Amino acid sequence: MKYRRIGSPPSRILYGSTTTSSLILTLLLILMATRFSLSRSAHFCLRPTSSFFPSSTKNLLQCRSCPLWSSSFSLCLHTFRKSTSPGNRPRKSITVRSFSPSSASISDHPSKMSMASDDNPLLKDFDFPPFDVIEAKHVRPGIRALLKKIDEELSALEMTVEPTWPKLVEPLEKIIDRLTVVWGAVNHLKSVKDNPELRSALEEVQPEKVAFQLKLGQSKPIYNAFKAIRESPEWDSLNDARKRIVESQIKEAVLSGIALEDDKREQFNKIEQDLAKLSQKFEENVLDSTKKFEKLITDKKDIEGLPATSLGLAAQTAVSKGHENATAEDGPWIITLDAPSYMSVMQHAKNRTLREEVYRAYINRASSGDLDNTEIINQILKLRLEKAKLLGYNNYAEVSMAMKMATVGKAEELLEKLRSASWDPAVKDLEDLKDFCKSQGSPEADDLNHWDITFWSERLRESKYELNEEELRPYFSLPRVMDGLFNLVKMLFDINVEPVDGLAPVWNNDVRFYRVNDSSGSPIAYFYFDPYSRPSEKRGGAWMDEVVSRSRVLSRDGSNARLPVAHMVCNQMPPVGDKPSLMTFREVETVFHEFGHALQHMLTKQDEGLVAGIRGVEWDAVELPSQFMENWCYHRDTLMGIAKHHETGETLPEGIYKKLLAAKTFRAGTLSLRQLRFATVDLELHAKYVPGGSESIYCVDRRVSKKTQVLPPLPDDKFLASFSHIFAGGYAAGYYSYKWAEVLSADAFSAFEDVGLENEKAVKETGQRFRETVLALGGGKAPLEVFVQFRGREPSPEPLLRHNGLLTSSA
């Protein structure tokens, strides 16, 4: 998947302080009334899906509301090297072939990419993508040569296909995998190393790639072969994973237009092509408009209140923009809309005029001039509705829900129940904030506006809990955080994570590469981590995606399954001077969240590649492992193992830990409503909005905001123009899934609470059970069945309400 949220805290449900006991029953009934449908392959972020009948864009699992600043790793677990930050370590020379066939590789012998290519790295046989040498000039010839080759193989398969696994699924998986891996590598580079030449090359070949995907998705010989398997006497003997593959691909084919006649199919295909172009342009406009804003400040009083880390970053940015003598102490400083810079201003700048200028620029990104996304959104919504009508649905939300657990009605019902429970606490949040401002003699106390809320909320939190987020940074250095995270997963899941920099090519010197080993020391997975913000070339946010998935069919040696490889991308503040990257507590939560996604991809034991790891998991269940991992940030032993002062080694004082726990639900009602605004406007636009009608997209948002925002948005608020989750990611009519999955994740964590979080033996046993079910089974079994297998019962909302402090008041 790709994006996850838009400017909000971690992705767990945050409520206010009051609710009613009936909410528990209502949530339970909503969840239980919905059975989990078969699913399409799920990804994190923006890339084409890798199922048999792929969509025109792949979904990145984007985790967290935008801005999704979080962190990455820079730790040293291995004895062969010592490092304080990812950016200053030595690198080994890289060869194309990186490790032995007994470990894992991108393709098996029949699928090797060994076509003559004039040294085009995209067409070579590789174990890991050659990210360090792929350039824009390779994209056009490489993708076209690959498409020609697999198109020939698809045509040959259509002539010889039989309704058996070896004659249908296995050759098809090889074809799909080659496109997924190569296109995925190029598209990934566009996300993390964007440049005009790469954009142009991708824009030129994308229609050809989409055309191939449509040809595959609408292949009647393949569709009929799947139906024949479904209707064969051997059906009952297939295992759960294979049944899920067959049934989901039949349904996916229908959603890909397999049943449409010539004219309608041609119209459908044009819609898919146009949607792919529009989504790409949408994301480019967001990136370019974010890069475009720069605020040069020369007078230190104009940035009074910014902490030292933020001043250092602003000076570092100024140096990179040609102000070579800039320093944190004397400036000049450059403020940008990149997440670390933007949030620092919103939280800490005493200059109200600066806060207003930066806030207005942020909520109006990509909404004017050559970078205006407004008409692109209108076109996207119009085409999605046309697509839905062609497929026989009333609206696009129904199309989206066809491959999810929920229905439109059940999702709306859940959102409304949460909204009504959060409204009164959110009202009180604003009253408390106004009272606090008055007590501080603030001139804006009677006229609080959006650029004041974050600033004064931070001051109130500091006053109420004696917690200063910036003062916590020295306790959360990136190396320590990652060391603690890896120790946690070793305890829970009996795995070891070690850095193996140099084993695989990378796209930037800050990128780390890791190997995951089982208890015997054998490798079971690999992953990249790209930690820091690079606003000139890197998309904002935090996400996880696959590089390759586990697969028996794509085994290099014919016996051991190909091992999964993932990448995690974040946008946290880079090291400044000789200090390591120092994190906020929210950034710590984000890293844990993204690693939860990666764990589901890497620890899968499913050998059927099309439902291994995150593939095939219903979109509204895929957040379970990520949100589950966030809970461990509040676990005392875990947090104390992470929180060590980067200079003195001092452990976080016990009193501060207790304050962190107490502040967990601070302004919970307001934060919950913020997420509900995003989820509700998403469903409104995809279920009820009429493109070209009397109501504009911004009118829809203002109407939704009347019920989801205590402080109404500004009249010129155009945040929709940068809402990449739903217009350039995988969350169209699916943003509600953050809320839906939190019921599952909270209940899953409560299994550990039930056995006692201080009982290490019982926690390890429960962790193994979680690994063998939620993390191991992938999309090979329906999510509800997987959950019941782990928990011993169907999910309950009670743990979620308890975690957010609601059960006591409701009782």
* Catalytic positions, written as ranges: 594
Q: Could you tell me how many helices (H) and strands (E) the chain has, helices first?
A: 28, 9
* Pick from 441, 427, 423, 434: nearest CA to 457: 434
Written as one string, the DSSP assignment of 48-92 is: ---SSS--SSPEEEE-SSSS----------STT---SSGGG----
Q: Is 566 helix (H, G, I), strand (E, B) or coil?
A: strand
CA distance 741 to 11: 10
Facing residues of 498 across strands? Answer: 515
* Pick from 684, 763, 671, 664: nearest CA to 710: 671
Q: Is 428 helix (H, G, I), strand (E, B) or coil?
A: helix
Structure tokens at 710: 């205590």
Helix axes 374-390, 697-708, angle to 10 degrees: 90
* Pick from 595, 599, 594, 573: nearest CA to 584: 573
Report the run of H or E that residue 139 belongs to, with start and end: helix 136-160
Q: What is the largest CA-CA distance in the chain?
A: 80
CA distance 174 to 177: 5
CA distance 444 to 429: 17
| Residue 563 burial (10 A CB sphere; 0-12, 13-18, 19+) | buried
Handedness of CA 261, 41, 404, 683 (dihedral sign): negative
Handedness of CA 201, 205, 207, 212 (dihedral sign): negative
Q: Which residues contact 690 (CB under 8 A, 6 or more apart)?
A: none
The three state secondary structure string of 594-610 is HHHHHHHHHCCCCCCHH
Q: Is 647 helix (H, G, I), strand (E, B) or coil?
A: coil
Report the run of H or E that residue 526 belongs to, with start and end: strand 523-532
CA distance 428 to 536: 41
Overall residue count recorded for the chain in this entry: 811
Please state whether the peptide bond connecting residue 9 to the residue before it is cis, i.e. omega within 30 degrees of 0: no
Distances in Å between the alpha carbon of 457 and those of 259, 309, 341, 655?
A: 54, 20, 18, 21
* Pick from 535, 335, 342, 298: nearest CA to 451: 342
* CA geometry: angle 540, 629, 539, nearest 5 deg: 10
CA distance 792 to 785: 10
Written as one string, the DSSP assignment of 656-715 is: HHHHHHHGGGTTHHHHHHHHHHHHHHHHHHHHT--TTSSS-HHHHHHHHHHHH-SSPPPT
The residue with tokens 């090291």 is 575
Query: HSE on the CB side for 155, CA within 13 Å?
Result: 7
Structure tokens at 90: 């030595």
CA distance 275 to 53: 17
Distances in Å between the alpha carbon of 128 and those of 49, 51, 100, 488, 564?
A: 20, 21, 12, 28, 11
Query: What does the DSSP 8-state code read for residue 135?
Result: -
